[in-house]
């Protein structure tokens, strides 16, 4: 029953179109694997974020810097941590730092 095993933690990244975060997702997954963390990390476009929140039920929502203006509206909507990804870490695609930020917030 390999397909039914769920990750311990689930991280959702949101950006304008869902494309720019795909590289960051793979770098975060690589960092998680290197540290033995069981984390499901995925990205979505801001326009589909509400659907993904409902269907995926993540433990944290991480916003790309380009959609940081949506922070307050997501914080009002969800009962999970909502964070804006550090602009420098995002620009450098520093998956390890962004993963650590997410895991720190999840606790």
| pTM for this model (two decimals) | 0.90
The C-alpha torsion from 11 through 15 and 19 to 25, rounded to 10°, is -20
Alpha helices, DSSP H, located in 12-94: 20-34, 49-56, 71-77, 87-91
Please write the tens of the pLDDT for every residue from 51-104: 999 999 999 999 999 999 999 999 999 999 999 999 999 999 999 999 999 999
Catalytic residue among 13, 15, 60, 70: 15
Nearest Cα neighbor of 92 from 23, 15, 17 is 23
Q: List domains and CATH numbers for the chain.
A: 6-106 (3.40.50.2300)
Is 15 a known active-site residue? yes
């Amino acid at each position: 029953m390999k397909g039914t095993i769920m990750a311990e933690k689930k991280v959702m990244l949101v950006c304008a179109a869902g494309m720019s975060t795909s590289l960051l997702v793979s770098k975060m997954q690589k960092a998680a694997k290197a540290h033995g963390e069981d984390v499901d990390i995925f990205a979505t476009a801001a326009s589909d974020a509400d659907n993904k929140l409902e269907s995926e039920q993540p433990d944290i929502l991480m916003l790309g810097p380009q959609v940081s203006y949506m922070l307050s509206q997501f914080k009002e909507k969800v009962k999970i941590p909502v964070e804006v990804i550090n602009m420098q870490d995002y620009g450098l695609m520093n998956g390890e730092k962004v993963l650590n930020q997410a895991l720190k917030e999840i606790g």
